[in-house]
């Protein structure tokens, strides 16, 4: 019997404000290191120039730590996978140049990964959680700070976007709403926490309506701003006193849109394997309510562990694993792409 060498992939992520690296051996995660960038909190959002500089500082120690924790030497790597885009161009440049140089120095293949496709493949990262994984073709709701889309995942390399936000992403609605409340960036996790203490029916928000599978969140942002302005006019301490209820209202409105559209997507496609990924898929309200909807409507929901929801290197290595198996390699002259369309 012929024994095949394991596929050992180093995945590098630098598309926004997380510098991350992970090592996967035959799809099994051996390390997953994420360095956040606290520098943005004081600015209320990601400052691209500061993000690039922080990546530059973090990338060597983060990759070093990922290899060390995995117990893998550089010379053992089968390939280096990196995020080619979409994302902030200066941030992507850091990861791309680093991956290109490392692949050249080690003389191993380089694999260019689409960040959004990687989010949809995060379900397949094998770890100790022994969770079920979706069967192809499945429907993936990718909800992050930059994107909100429904994707039919036909296979690891064949994906079709069937619905998207026409303006802001769901994560952006969380973050901007949080900023209006005076909460630091990124606001999504804080809104999630505070919403659990609030009552969403005290300050109801109008739900945006869009035809088909497309979505819009910018109107919701304006409605939330108007709600806050009306409240502050009557009571200057409105935002503080009502903070938890306001977070609950904001989260409720965003989640309701996603629930309604997911229902429509299941009906339209007939696909009953539904998965969520991206930073907003860490939201406790979304996870619980989508789970309940799945049971009520008779479809199955797959949600990755929280560590693979927000940006991480393991999902890049996972996508890299599939691309490596298909021998989809990038040239050493590969360049990052802020957008793919």
Q: Which residues here bind ligand KG4, judged by CB under 6 A? A: 16, 144-146, 171, 174-175, 186-189, 192, 278-280, 282-283, 310-311
Chosen from ligand KG4, Zn ion, none, partner binding at 175 (C-beta under 5 to 8 Å by type): ligand KG4
| Cα 179 to the center of its chain, rounded Å | 20
The stretch near Zn ion (CB under 5 A) out of 18-26, 130-138, 214-222, 308-316 is 308-316
Residue burial 189-204, b: 16+ Cβ < 10 Å; e: rest: bbbbebbeebebeebe
- Establish how many alpha carbons lie within 13 A of residue 298's alpha carbon, considering only the half-sphere containing its beta carbon: 2
The two three-digit tokens of residue 174, written as one number:
């969380």
| Cα 201 to the center of its chain, rounded Å | 29
Chosen from ligand KG4, Zn ion, none, partner binding at 29 (C-beta under 5 to 8 Å by type): none
Q: How far is the CB of 15 from ligand KG4 (least distance, A)?
A: 7
The stretch near Zn ion (CB under 5 A) out of 102-110, 267-275, 305-313, 331-339 is 305-313
- Under the binding rule (CB under 5 A), the answer on residue 311 touching Zn ion is yes
In the sheet that 19-25 helps form, which strands lie side by side, from edge to edge?
Answer: 28-35, 19-25, 8-13, 79-85, 110-114
Q: Which is nearer to Zn ion, 78 or 277 (CB)?
A: 277
- Under the binding rule (CB under 5 A), the answer on residue 19 touching Zn ion is no
Q: How far is the CB of 145 from ligand KG4 (least distance, A)?
A: 3
Nearest to 328 by CA among 140, 117, 149: 117
Q: How far is the CB of 174 from ligand KG4 (least distance, A)?
A: 4
Chosen from Zn ion, ligand KG4, none, partner binding at 174 (C-beta under 5 to 8 Å by type): ligand KG4
- CA dist 34 and 151 (Å) reads 26
**Residue pointed to by tokens 């949809």:** 120
CA distance readout (Å), 67 to 108, 189, 276, 280: 16, 29, 29, 28
How would you classify residue 87: left for phi > 0, otherwise alpha for psi between -120 and 50, otherwise beta? left
Q: Which is nearer to ligand KG4, 7 or 290 (CB)?
A: 290
Chosen from ligand KG4, Zn ion, none, partner binding at 142 (C-beta under 5 to 8 Å by type): none
- CA dist 305 and 123 (Å) reads 9
- CA dist 294 and 140 (Å) reads 14
Q: How far is the CB of 339 from ligand KG4 (least distance, A)?
A: 13
Q: Which is nearer to ligand KG4, 109 or 285 (CB)?
A: 285
Q: Which is nearer to Zn ion, 228 or 316 (CB)?
A: 316
- Under the binding rule (CB under 5 A), the answer on residue 84 touching Zn ion is no
Chosen from Zn ion, ligand KG4, none, partner binding at 168 (C-beta under 5 to 8 Å by type): none
- Under the binding rule (CB under 5 A), the answer on residue 144 touching Zn ion is yes
How would you classify residue 298: left for phi > 0, otherwise alpha for psi between -120 and 50, otherwise beta? left
- In this structure, the number of other CB atoms found within 10 A of the CB of residue 250 comes to 30
Q: How far is the CB of 332 from Zn ion (least distance, A)?
A: 26
Q: Which is nearer to Zn ion, 17 or 242 (CB)?
A: 17
Q: How far is the CB of 233 from Zn ion (least distance, A)?
A: 38
- CA dist 4 and 188 (Å) reads 44
Chosen from Zn ion, ligand KG4, none, partner binding at 192 (C-beta under 5 to 8 Å by type): ligand KG4
Q: How far is the CB of 305 from ligand KG4 (least distance, A)?
A: 13
Task: Report DSSP state, residue 25.
Answer: E
- Under the binding rule (CB under 5 A), the answer on residue 114 touching Zn ion is no
Q: How far is the CB of 226 from ligand KG4 (least distance, A)?
A: 22
Q: Which is nearer to ligand KG4, 11 or 171 (CB)?
A: 171
Q: Which residues bind Zn ion (CB under 5 A)?
A: 144, 311
């Amino acid at each position: 019997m012929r024994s095949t060498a394991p596929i050992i992939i180093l995945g590098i992520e630098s598309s926004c404000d997380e510098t991350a690296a992970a090592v996967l051996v035959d799809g099994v995660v051996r390390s997953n290191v994420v360095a956040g960038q606290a520098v943005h909190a004081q600015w209320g959002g990601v400052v691209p120039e500061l993000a690039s500089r922080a990546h530059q500082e973090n990338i060597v120690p983060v990759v070093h730590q990922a290899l060390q924790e995995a117990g893998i030497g550089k010379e053992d790597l089968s390939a280096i996978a990196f995020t080619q885009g979409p994302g902030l161009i200066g941030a992507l440049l850091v990861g791309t140049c680093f991956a290109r140089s490392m692949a050249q120095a080690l003389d191993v293949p380089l694999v260019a990964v689409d960040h959004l496709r990687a989010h949809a493949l995060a379900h397949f990262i094998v770890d100790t959680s022994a969770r079920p994984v979706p069967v192809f073709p499945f429907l993936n709701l990718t909800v992050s700070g930059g994107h909100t889309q429904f994707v039919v995942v036909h296979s690891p390399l064949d994906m079709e976007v069937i619905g998207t936000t026409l303006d802001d992403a769901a994560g952006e609605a969380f973050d901007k709403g949080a900023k209006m409340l005076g909460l630091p960036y990124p606001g999504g996790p804080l809104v999630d926490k505070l919403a659990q203490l609030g009552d969403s029916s005290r300050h109801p928000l109008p739900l945006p309506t869009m035809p088909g599978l497309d979505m819009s969140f910018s109107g919701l942002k304006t409605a939330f701003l108007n709600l806050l302005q009306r409240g502050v006019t009557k009571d200057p301490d409105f935002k503080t006193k009502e903070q938890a209820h306001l977070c609950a209202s904001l989260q409720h409105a965003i989640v309701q849109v996603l629930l309604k559209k997911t229902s429509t997507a299941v009906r339209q496609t007939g696909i009953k394997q539904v998965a969520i990924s991206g930073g907003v898929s860490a939201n406790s309200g979304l996870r619980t309510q989508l789970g309940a909807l799945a049971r009520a409507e008779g479809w199955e929901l797959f949600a990755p562990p929280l560590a693979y929801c927000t940006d991480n290197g393991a999902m890049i290595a996972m996508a890299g694993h599939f691309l490596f198996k298909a021998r989809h390699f990038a040239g050493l002259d590969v360049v990052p792409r802020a957008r793919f369309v």
